[in-house]
Structure 1
């Protein structure tokens, strides 16, 4: 029986996670859950540690983890989020961030041309290197002479394995995105790994775009893309853009994955949204679609497909939260999806 760790987290995290768990429970599958509801900002403020070694050991023993959100305005700086999110990514080596973007309903697209609205692509983002490794520092901080340095890190191992994963994930085409015309050293490594990997996949259409051109192309015709693979920071930005083209961050799901071990950290992309926490207005779709990704990975692809169909039905019937044009609260929107599922 697969064991799933659940980390509801902060802000709206517990609210949307509750709806995802209710849906998973209703499917009657052979899943068990280990809920770590103490991994949150309250614990960090009280003890200085949000994710203990024991917590990490429990997560390691599971087959995957479902995360609500991490972030609290009471906590200054980035240490808390890094101690939870980056510790999980680095210690579990969750090097591939997989973010699908599929338009749930035509009315949700911000694009004028109906022939180019139907985005259905995946952003594969390298998840453990790049600019987010916290390598750098500051000289004379707080003064008018301050010098701040953040170092972008790319390794042959990190780049080649995420490109390999992207190629394995594609059905028709992969586009590699970089800025090698302006970032020559990392760009050279990405280009070489890309050429080496694509030589072994003549069955796929492969292409390369600079990141600024890729952003423009996503806006002008998102239907042109199947899978995009890129580094940590570019993937962060492009995947948020793709999410907006698919209906907004409230609908966006993701998994931080180690394809070799099969372990994944599944989470909605929207963050903790403390301004609406406790108001029953958060959109649960991102969490529910993250649960669908989890189902797929633990051996229940038919149920995952059924969940996605139920989400689309509820959205089409405008049985959803206000950000998608509906009038339902978080709980009622979750109930509407479960009703469509059954």
Structure 2
């Protein structure tokens, strides 16, 4: 059967970078059927909600989903449950893509673009595995109300069950087994009950499923410091939803620009993967044609590799991005002058 890639360009720079990723896809895998739908603010403008049941249904039937970005100041006044970001959370939860893979690798030609010294980032290759469908972003109760003393308060609940931790921990262990064989699990076990529970459950999973993999534990704040001090000490970092969100964005800057980082969100076998650049909608540069398309193109590379079983095409994309960078192709975030389209042109020339 013909494979289907569903594009969800979204908001801000999302449509700009997804358009360039589509050009690459049509060259390396022209037989893949490409469809498109709305999500986020674009869906609010058209349908009144950030994610329609129809779009979620189409996503569930696709072989892979490539998403651009959601959100922007235009929708700041919308109720939280109807903001563009609610569409993204609904997509993740609806597809049950619980394991978010965020690689942080530094292309050799971008070593000097990093905010860290060359010796700290040259050869950097970290995989952050973030739990994506539970934790404080989804826990109940949550809300803003008034306590018994008449004081307004806001609260969110960090909740994890043992099966939710087990499944994402097993993904991290399996990925480490194909890399350097080391997992560092991150938590706040010193001050949070849910953090101690996370540490205990990850330890238990490792005892049963971690043969050949070394497991260590680190507090989240210490991990943030170590990512800046000595990032190459890490192989695979396993984190909950909140800490994985924060640490992966910090790791992004080690590579030269957040505009270089892709991500993959995976579920159980047979579930379509959700692939998206980490950079967000960047409304300050939307429409200017200067956004870096590499993260979106590398998200396509991950889709080809992880969900579409096209490793040869994925290798071609990765190689072309590396060669274009080696040849000096740069957008403004990397200190260059190329437009979004010109950067994609340079990558296409290398295919």
- Scaled by the length of structure 1, the TM-score of the pair is 0.94
Post-superposition shift, 1:94? Answer: 1.0
Post-superposition shift, 1:42? Answer: 4.0
Q: Determine if contact 2:61/2:272 at 8 Å carries over to the other structure.
A: no
* Aligned partner of residue 336 in structure 1, secondary structure: helix
Q: Determine if contact 2:275/2:299 at 8 Å carries over to the other structure.
A: yes
Q: 2:132 aligns with which of 127, 134, 139?
A: 127
Q: Deviations over 1:111-151 (max 9, x none)?
A: 1252554320111001011110163122239x992111111
Counterpart for residue 152 of structure 1: 158
Counterpart for residue 337 of structure 1: 347
Long gaps (5+) in structure 2: none
Q: 2:276 aligns with which of 267, 270, 291?
A: 267
Counterpart for residue 198 of structure 1: 206
5 Å-filtered alignment, 1:158-237, equals 158-170=164-176, 171=179, 172-183=181-192, 185-199=193-207, 200-237=209-246
Alpha-carbon spacing, 1:225–1:140, altered in 2? closer, same or farther (3 Å): same
Counterpart for residue 287 of structure 2: 278
Q: Deviations over 1:252-298 (max 9, x none)?
A: 10011113334211000111111111111000001000000000021
CA distance in 1, matches of 2:66, 2:324: 23
More deviation, 308-317/210-219: 308-317
Counterpart for residue 325 of structure 2: 315
Asked if 1:95 is matched to 2:98, the reply is: yes
CA distance in 2, matches of 1:242, 1:5: 28
Post-superposition shift, 1:52? Answer: 1.6
* Aligned partner of residue 121 in structure 1, secondary structure: strand
Alpha-carbon spacing, 1:336–1:81, altered in 2? closer, same or farther (3 Å): same
Q: Determine if contact 1:11/1:274 at 8 Å carries over to the other structure.
A: yes
Post-superposition shift, 1:310? Answer: 1.4
CA distance in 1, matches of 2:314, 2:29: 13
Counting matched residue pairs gives 338
Q: Determine if contact 1:8/1:17 at 8 Å carries over to the other structure.
A: yes
Asked if 1:140 is matched to 2:149, the reply is: no
Post-superposition shift, 1:321? Answer: 0.4
Q: Deviations over 1:154-188 (max 9, x none)?
A: 111111111011101112211101110111x2123
* Aligned partner of residue 269 in structure 2, secondary structure: coil
Q: Determine if contact 1:11/1:72 at 8 Å carries over to the other structure.
A: yes
Counterpart for residue 259 of structure 2: 250
More deviation, 56-65/308-317: 308-317
Counterpart for residue 336 of structure 2: 326
Post-superposition shift, 1:194? Answer: 1.5
* Aligned partner of residue 24 in structure 2, secondary structure: helix
Q: Determine if contact 2:100/2:263 at 8 Å carries over to the other structure.
A: yes
Counterpart for residue 27 of structure 2: 26
Post-superposition shift, 1:192? Answer: 2.1
More deviation, 216-225/185-194: 185-194
* Aligned partner of residue 268 in structure 1, secondary structure: coil
Q: Deviations over 1:238-264 (max 9, x none)?
A: 000111101221111001111333421
Measured on the aligned residues, the alpha-carbon RMSD in Å equals 1.8
Q: Determine if contact 1:129/1:158 at 8 Å carries over to the other structure.
A: yes
CA distance in 1, matches of 2:73, 2:150: 28
* Aligned partner of residue 217 in structure 1, secondary structure: helix
Post-superposition shift, 1:91? Answer: 1.2
Long gaps (5+) in structure 1: none
Q: Determine if contact 2:40/2:88 at 8 Å carries over to the other structure.
A: no
Counterpart for residue 89 of structure 2: 86
